[in-house]
Protein backbone atom coordinates (compact mmCIF):
# COMPACT_ATOMS: atom_id res chain seq x y z
CA UNK A 1 0.00 0.00 0.00
CA UNK A 2 3.04 2.21 -0.07
CA UNK A 3 2.08 3.68 -3.43
CA UNK A 4 -0.93 5.36 -1.82
CA UNK A 5 1.56 7.58 -0.03
CA UNK A 6 4.29 7.56 -2.64
CA UNK A 7 2.87 7.11 -6.14
CA UNK A 8 5.51 6.89 -8.88
CA UNK A 9 3.74 6.91 -12.21
CA UNK A 10 1.16 9.24 -13.66
CA UNK A 11 -1.48 6.51 -13.47
CA UNK A 12 -0.75 5.90 -9.81
CA UNK A 13 -1.02 9.62 -9.08
CA UNK A 14 -4.45 9.75 -10.67
CA UNK A 15 -5.53 6.60 -8.84
CA UNK A 16 -4.41 8.17 -5.55
CA UNK A 17 -6.45 11.24 -6.41
CA UNK A 18 -9.48 9.02 -7.09
CA UNK A 19 -8.97 7.14 -3.85
CA UNK A 20 -8.64 10.40 -1.94
CA UNK A 21 -11.86 11.79 -3.32
CA UNK A 22 -13.73 8.49 -2.89
CA UNK A 23 -12.57 8.19 0.70
CA UNK A 24 -13.69 11.71 1.42
CA UNK A 25 -17.11 11.16 -0.15
CA UNK A 26 -17.53 7.91 1.80
CA UNK A 27 -16.73 9.54 5.14
CA UNK A 28 -19.06 12.48 4.50
CA UNK A 29 -21.87 10.15 3.35
CA UNK A 30 -21.49 8.04 6.44
CA UNK A 31 -21.73 11.09 8.68
CA UNK A 32 -24.84 12.33 6.89
CA UNK A 33 -26.40 8.87 6.93
CA UNK A 34 -25.89 8.60 10.69
CA UNK A 35 -27.46 11.95 11.50
CA UNK A 36 -30.34 11.63 9.05
CA UNK A 37 -32.93 10.15 11.42
CA UNK A 38 -35.51 12.89 11.82
CA UNK A 39 -37.19 13.16 15.25
CA UNK A 40 -35.27 10.34 16.88
CA UNK A 41 -32.00 12.10 17.69
CA UNK A 42 -31.54 15.51 19.34
CA UNK A 43 -30.78 18.42 17.08
CA UNK A 44 -27.35 19.04 18.51
CA UNK A 45 -26.20 15.65 17.20
CA UNK A 46 -27.39 16.64 13.74
CA UNK A 47 -25.55 19.94 14.15
CA UNK A 48 -22.35 18.08 15.02
CA UNK A 49 -22.73 16.05 11.83
CA UNK A 50 -23.00 19.17 9.70
CA UNK A 51 -20.69 21.59 11.47
CA UNK A 52 -18.35 19.10 13.12
CA UNK A 53 -16.01 18.23 10.23
CA UNK A 54 -15.28 21.90 9.47
CA UNK A 55 -14.75 22.80 13.12
CA UNK A 56 -12.53 19.79 13.64
CA UNK A 57 -10.34 20.66 10.65
CA UNK A 58 -10.12 24.33 11.64
CA UNK A 59 -9.27 23.50 15.23
CA UNK A 60 -6.63 21.01 14.17
CA UNK A 61 -5.09 22.97 11.30
CA UNK A 62 -5.46 26.63 12.29
CA UNK A 63 -6.18 27.09 15.97
CA UNK A 64 -3.83 24.50 17.47
CA UNK A 65 -0.82 25.28 15.21
CA UNK A 66 -1.41 28.99 15.73
CA UNK A 67 -1.24 28.63 19.51
CA UNK A 68 1.76 26.33 19.22
CA UNK A 69 3.58 28.90 17.11
CA UNK A 70 2.78 31.60 19.64
CA UNK A 71 4.22 29.34 22.36
CA UNK A 72 7.32 28.51 20.29
CA UNK A 73 8.05 32.16 19.69
CA UNK A 74 9.26 32.38 23.30
CA UNK A 75 11.79 29.58 22.81
CA UNK A 76 15.21 29.26 21.22
CA UNK A 77 16.01 28.06 17.71
CA UNK A 78 15.41 24.37 18.48
CA UNK A 79 12.44 25.12 20.79
CA UNK A 80 14.23 23.46 23.70
CA UNK A 81 14.97 26.41 25.94
CA UNK A 82 12.74 29.25 27.13
CA UNK A 83 14.18 32.62 26.09
CA UNK A 84 11.34 34.99 26.98
CA UNK A 85 10.99 37.89 24.56
CA UNK A 86 14.48 37.50 23.07
CA UNK A 87 13.23 36.62 19.59
CA UNK A 88 11.05 39.72 19.50
CA UNK A 89 13.89 41.86 20.79
CA UNK A 90 16.17 40.51 18.05
CA UNK A 91 13.52 41.31 15.49
CA UNK A 92 12.96 44.89 16.49
CA UNK A 93 16.53 45.85 17.38
CA UNK A 94 18.83 44.04 14.97
CA UNK A 95 19.82 46.35 12.10
CA UNK A 96 19.15 43.63 9.54
CA UNK A 97 15.63 43.00 10.84
CA UNK A 98 14.75 46.65 11.26
CA UNK A 99 15.43 47.03 7.57
CA UNK A 100 13.09 44.13 6.85
CA UNK A 101 10.39 45.94 8.82
CA UNK A 102 10.93 49.18 6.91
CA UNK A 103 10.82 47.45 3.53
CA UNK A 104 7.66 45.57 4.56
CA UNK A 105 6.08 48.87 5.58
CA UNK A 106 6.89 50.30 2.15
CA UNK A 107 5.10 47.36 0.54
CA UNK A 108 2.02 47.61 2.76
CA UNK A 109 1.66 51.35 2.20
CA UNK A 110 2.52 51.69 -1.48
CA UNK A 111 0.94 48.60 -3.04
CA UNK A 112 -2.62 49.23 -1.75
CA UNK A 113 -2.55 52.99 -2.35
CA UNK A 114 -1.25 52.89 -5.90
CA UNK A 115 -3.32 49.91 -7.05
CA UNK A 116 -6.48 51.38 -5.55
CA UNK A 117 -5.79 54.77 -7.12
CA UNK A 118 -5.09 53.36 -10.58
CA UNK A 119 -7.99 50.92 -10.27
CA UNK A 120 -10.35 53.74 -9.33
CA UNK A 121 -9.22 56.00 -12.15
CA UNK A 122 -9.56 53.17 -14.65
CA UNK A 123 -12.98 52.15 -13.32
CA UNK A 124 -14.25 55.70 -13.74
CA UNK A 125 -12.72 56.06 -17.19
CA UNK A 126 -14.19 52.89 -18.66
CA UNK A 127 -17.56 53.08 -16.87
CA UNK A 128 -20.21 52.79 -19.60
CA UNK A 129 -17.57 53.19 -22.27
CA UNK A 130 -17.98 51.26 -25.48
CA UNK A 131 -15.37 48.56 -24.87
CA UNK A 132 -15.97 48.37 -21.14
CA UNK A 133 -15.93 44.57 -20.92
CA UNK A 134 -12.74 44.08 -22.92
CA UNK A 135 -11.04 47.01 -21.21
CA UNK A 136 -11.82 45.54 -17.79
CA UNK A 137 -10.70 42.05 -18.74
CA UNK A 138 -7.31 43.35 -19.89
CA UNK A 139 -6.60 44.92 -16.52
CA UNK A 140 -8.10 42.00 -14.63
CA UNK A 141 -6.10 39.20 -16.29
CA UNK A 142 -3.07 39.48 -13.97
CA UNK A 143 -5.38 38.37 -11.13
CA UNK A 144 -5.64 34.95 -12.78
CA UNK A 145 -1.88 34.51 -13.02
CA UNK A 146 0.24 33.16 -10.17
CA UNK A 147 2.57 35.60 -8.47
CA UNK A 148 5.40 33.34 -9.61
CA UNK A 149 4.25 33.76 -13.21
CA UNK A 150 3.93 37.52 -12.72
CA UNK A 151 7.46 37.60 -11.31
CA UNK A 152 8.82 35.88 -14.43
CA UNK A 153 6.89 38.27 -16.66
CA UNK A 154 8.32 41.30 -14.90
CA UNK A 155 11.75 39.80 -14.45
CA UNK A 156 11.88 39.72 -18.23
CA UNK A 157 10.73 43.34 -18.47
CA UNK A 158 13.54 44.32 -16.07
CA UNK A 159 16.19 42.09 -17.71
CA UNK A 160 19.58 43.82 -17.92
CA UNK A 161 22.37 43.41 -20.47
CA UNK A 162 25.73 45.15 -20.01
CA UNK A 163 26.02 48.38 -21.94
CA UNK A 164 28.52 47.31 -24.63
CA UNK A 165 28.59 47.76 -28.39
CA UNK A 166 27.02 44.83 -30.20
CA UNK A 167 24.89 43.82 -27.24
CA UNK A 168 21.21 44.64 -27.49
CA UNK A 169 18.89 44.95 -24.54
CA UNK A 170 16.25 42.21 -24.38
CA UNK A 171 14.31 43.67 -21.46
CA UNK A 172 11.72 46.21 -22.53
CA UNK A 173 12.37 48.74 -19.80
CA UNK A 174 16.10 48.93 -20.45
CA UNK A 175 15.47 49.19 -24.18
CA UNK A 176 13.22 52.19 -23.47
CA UNK A 177 16.09 53.76 -21.50
CA UNK A 178 18.49 53.11 -24.39
CA UNK A 179 16.05 54.64 -26.86
CA UNK A 180 15.89 57.70 -24.65
CA UNK A 181 19.70 57.84 -24.70
CA UNK A 182 20.14 56.73 -21.07
CA UNK A 183 22.38 53.93 -19.79
CA UNK A 184 20.61 50.63 -18.94
CA UNK A 185 20.03 49.87 -15.25
CA UNK A 186 20.11 46.78 -13.05
CA UNK A 187 16.62 47.44 -11.74
CA UNK A 188 16.53 44.57 -9.25
CA UNK A 189 19.91 45.26 -7.65
CA UNK A 190 20.15 48.98 -6.91
CA UNK A 191 18.80 49.89 -3.46
CA UNK A 192 16.35 51.25 -2.49
CA UNK A 193 14.61 51.48 -5.85
CA UNK A 194 14.67 47.73 -6.43
CA UNK A 195 11.96 47.33 -3.78
CA UNK A 196 9.90 49.83 -5.76
CA UNK A 197 10.28 47.75 -8.90
CA UNK A 198 9.15 44.67 -7.00
CA UNK A 199 6.14 46.53 -5.62
CA UNK A 200 5.20 47.41 -9.20
CA UNK A 201 4.54 43.71 -9.79
CA UNK A 202 2.12 43.57 -6.86
CA UNK A 203 0.41 46.74 -8.11
CA UNK A 204 0.12 45.19 -11.57
CA UNK A 205 -1.65 42.18 -10.03
CA UNK A 206 -3.91 43.98 -7.54
CA UNK A 207 -5.15 46.86 -9.70
CA UNK A 208 -7.58 44.50 -11.44
CA UNK A 209 -9.10 43.55 -8.10
CA UNK A 210 -9.45 47.19 -7.05
CA UNK A 211 -10.91 48.15 -10.42
CA UNK A 212 -13.55 45.38 -10.35
CA UNK A 213 -14.80 46.06 -6.83
CA UNK A 214 -14.81 49.82 -7.33
CA UNK A 215 -16.51 49.59 -10.74
CA UNK A 216 -19.32 47.58 -9.11
CA UNK A 217 -19.60 50.24 -6.40
CA UNK A 218 -19.71 53.04 -8.97
CA UNK A 219 -22.48 51.27 -10.89
CA UNK A 220 -24.45 51.12 -7.64
CA UNK A 221 -24.46 54.90 -7.14
CA UNK A 222 -28.13 55.91 -7.54
CA UNK A 223 -28.84 57.65 -10.83
CA UNK A 224 -30.80 60.47 -9.21
CA UNK A 225 -27.76 61.58 -7.20
CA UNK A 226 -25.63 61.74 -10.34
CA UNK A 227 -28.40 63.54 -12.19
CA UNK A 228 -28.90 66.10 -9.45
CA UNK A 229 -25.19 66.79 -9.36
CA UNK A 230 -25.16 67.30 -13.12
CA UNK A 231 -28.03 69.78 -12.89
CA UNK A 232 -25.97 71.60 -10.29
CA UNK A 233 -23.25 71.89 -12.90
CA UNK A 234 -20.79 69.22 -11.80
CA UNK A 235 -18.71 67.61 -14.55
CA UNK A 236 -15.63 65.50 -14.92
CA UNK A 237 -13.25 66.09 -12.03
CA UNK A 238 -15.88 67.78 -9.87
CA UNK A 239 -18.21 64.83 -10.25
CA UNK A 240 -15.36 62.46 -9.40
CA UNK A 241 -14.28 64.44 -6.35
CA UNK A 242 -17.67 65.31 -4.81
CA UNK A 243 -19.99 62.51 -5.92
CA UNK A 244 -18.11 59.37 -6.97
CA UNK A 245 -15.45 59.15 -4.27
CA UNK A 246 -17.71 59.91 -1.26
CA UNK A 247 -20.38 57.49 -2.52
CA UNK A 248 -17.98 54.55 -2.77
CA UNK A 249 -16.02 55.24 0.41
CA UNK A 250 -16.86 51.88 2.06
CA UNK A 251 -15.76 49.99 -1.05
CA UNK A 252 -12.54 52.00 -1.11
CA UNK A 253 -11.77 51.00 2.47
CA UNK A 254 -12.48 47.34 1.74
CA UNK A 255 -10.20 47.39 -1.30
CA UNK A 256 -7.36 49.15 0.50
CA UNK A 257 -7.44 46.84 3.50
CA UNK A 258 -7.82 43.67 1.44
CA UNK A 259 -4.81 44.52 -0.73
CA UNK A 260 -2.81 45.51 2.34
CA UNK A 261 -3.45 42.10 3.89
CA UNK A 262 -2.57 40.23 0.71
CA UNK A 263 0.61 42.25 0.36
CA UNK A 264 1.65 41.64 3.94
CA UNK A 265 1.31 37.88 3.65
CA UNK A 266 2.68 37.37 0.12
CA UNK A 267 6.28 36.26 -0.25
CA UNK A 268 6.17 34.86 -3.80
CA UNK A 269 7.35 37.96 -5.65
CA UNK A 270 10.35 38.72 -3.46
CA UNK A 271 11.36 35.07 -3.31
CA UNK A 272 11.17 34.53 -7.06
CA UNK A 273 12.71 37.81 -8.24
CA UNK A 274 15.50 38.58 -5.76
CA UNK A 275 15.31 35.87 -3.09
CA UNK A 276 15.30 38.69 -0.55
CA UNK A 277 18.81 39.79 -1.52
CA UNK A 278 19.96 43.35 -2.22
CA UNK A 279 17.94 44.79 0.65
CA UNK A 280 14.54 43.61 -0.60
CA UNK A 281 13.73 41.19 2.23
CA UNK A 282 10.21 41.34 3.73
CA UNK A 283 8.73 39.70 6.84
CA UNK A 284 6.84 36.97 4.97
CA UNK A 285 9.97 35.83 3.12
CA UNK A 286 12.20 36.25 6.16
CA UNK A 287 9.83 33.90 7.96
CA UNK A 288 10.31 31.28 5.27
CA UNK A 289 14.09 31.71 5.35
CA UNK A 290 14.29 31.40 9.14
CA UNK A 291 11.86 28.48 9.36
CA UNK A 292 13.07 26.28 6.50
CA UNK A 293 16.58 27.47 5.60
CA UNK A 294 18.16 28.68 8.85
CA UNK A 295 16.07 26.33 10.96
CA UNK A 296 15.68 28.98 13.64
CA UNK A 297 12.25 27.88 14.82
CA UNK A 298 11.96 30.39 17.66
CA UNK A 299 12.67 33.41 15.48
CA UNK A 300 10.50 32.08 12.65
CA UNK A 301 7.61 31.66 15.08
CA UNK A 302 8.09 35.22 16.33
CA UNK A 303 8.07 36.53 12.74
CA UNK A 304 4.84 34.64 12.02
CA UNK A 305 3.26 36.03 15.19
CA UNK A 306 4.23 39.58 14.21
CA UNK A 307 2.70 38.97 10.79
CA UNK A 308 -0.50 37.95 12.56
CA UNK A 309 -0.41 40.96 14.88
CA UNK A 310 0.02 43.31 11.93
CA UNK A 311 -2.97 41.83 10.11
CA UNK A 312 -5.38 42.18 13.04
CA UNK A 313 -5.77 45.99 13.11
CA UNK A 314 -6.29 46.07 9.34
CA UNK A 315 -9.09 43.51 9.61
CA UNK A 316 -10.59 45.21 12.64
CA UNK A 317 -10.74 48.50 10.77
CA UNK A 318 -12.23 46.74 7.77
CA UNK A 319 -14.98 45.10 9.85
CA UNK A 320 -15.79 48.35 11.64
CA UNK A 321 -16.18 50.21 8.35
CA UNK A 322 -18.40 47.41 7.10
CA UNK A 323 -20.64 47.63 10.17
CA UNK A 324 -20.91 51.38 9.81
CA UNK A 325 -21.83 51.22 6.14
CA UNK A 326 -24.46 48.59 6.89
CA UNK A 327 -25.98 50.80 9.60
CA UNK A 328 -26.34 53.62 7.09
CA UNK A 329 -28.14 51.32 4.72
Give the footprint of other proteins on residues 8-67 (CB under 8 A).
10, 13-14, 16-17, 20-21, 24, 28, 32, 35-38, 43-44, 46-47, 49-51, 53-55, 57-58, 60-66
How large is the angle between the packed helices 172-179 and 147-157, nearest 10 degrees? Answer: 20
CB of 304 to other proteins, least distance (A): 4
**Distance (Å, rounded) from C-alpha 252 to C-alpha 163?**
44
Which listed residue (110, 121, 177, 221) binds other proteins by CB under 8 A?
Answer: 121
Q: For residue 75, give the DSSP letter.
A: B
Give CA separation, 167 vs 170, 179, 183, 188, in Å: 9, 14, 13, 20
CB of 199 to other proteins, least distance (A): 15
Which listed residue (30, 102, 216, 225) binds other proteins by CB under 8 A?
Answer: 216
Which listed residue (170, 182, 225, 228) binds other proteins by CB under 8 A?
Answer: 170
CB of 195 to other proteins, least distance (A): 18
**Spatial contact of 278 and 210, defined as CB atoms under 8 Å apart:** no
Is 249 one of the binding residues for other proteins (CB under 8 A)?
A: no
Is 253 one of the binding residues for other proteins (CB under 8 A)?
A: no
Which listed residue (146, 186, 277, 294) binds other proteins by CB under 8 A?
Answer: 146
Which listed residue (91, 147, 243, 256) binds other proteins by CB under 8 A?
Answer: 147
**Distance (Å, rounded) from C-alpha 49 to C-alpha 151?**
44
Which listed residue (6, 80, 93, 164) binds other proteins by CB under 8 A?
Answer: 6
How far, in whole angstroms, is CA 78 from its chain's centroid? 30
Is 258 one of the binding residues for other proteins (CB under 8 A)?
A: yes
Q: For residues 175-204, which are near other proteins according to CB under 8 A?
A: 175, 179, 204
Is 139 one of the binding residues for other proteins (CB under 8 A)?
A: yes
Count the residues of the shown chain that bind other proteins, applying the rule CB under 8 A: 119
Q: Which one, of 200, 209, 84, 83, lies nearest residue 143 by Cα?
A: 209
**Spatial contact of 301 and 283, defined as CB atoms under 8 Å apart:** no
Give the other-Cβ count within 10 Å of 187's Cβ: 23
**Distance (Å, rounded) from C-alpha 183 to C-alpha 272?**
26
Q: Smaller CB distance to other proteins: residue 95 or 293? A: 293
CB of 109 to other proteins, least distance (A): 18
Is 155 one of the binding residues for other proteins (CB under 8 A)?
A: yes
Is 297 one of the binding residues for other proteins (CB under 8 A)?
A: yes
Alpha-helical runs (H) found in the chain:
2-5, 10-35, 43-58, 64-72, 86-93, 95-126, 132-140, 147-157, 172-179, 193-219, 223-231, 236-239, 245-247, 249-265, 268-273, 283-288, 297-328
Q: For residues 79-108, which are near other proteins according to CB under 8 A?
A: none
Q: For residue 62, give the DSSP letter.
A: I
How far, in whole angstroms, is CA 282 from its chain's centroid? 13
Is 300 one of the binding residues for other proteins (CB under 8 A)?
A: yes
**Distance (Å, rounded) from C-alpha 101 to C-alpha 88?**
12
Of 83-91, 93-101, 189-197, 232-240: span binding other proteins (CB under 8 A): 232-240
CB of 192 to other proteins, least distance (A): 22
Is 140 one of the binding residues for other proteins (CB under 8 A)?
A: yes
Amino acid sequence: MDWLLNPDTVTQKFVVMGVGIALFVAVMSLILFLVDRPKRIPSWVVAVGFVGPALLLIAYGLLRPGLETLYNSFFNRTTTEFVGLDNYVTMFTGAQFQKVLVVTAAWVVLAPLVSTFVGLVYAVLVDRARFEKVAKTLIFIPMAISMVGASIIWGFVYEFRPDQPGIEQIGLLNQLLVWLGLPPQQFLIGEPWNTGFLIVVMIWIQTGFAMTVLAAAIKAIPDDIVEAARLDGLHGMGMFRYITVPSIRPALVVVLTTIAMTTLKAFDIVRTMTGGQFGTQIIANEFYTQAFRQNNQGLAAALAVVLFILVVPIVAYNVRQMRRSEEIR
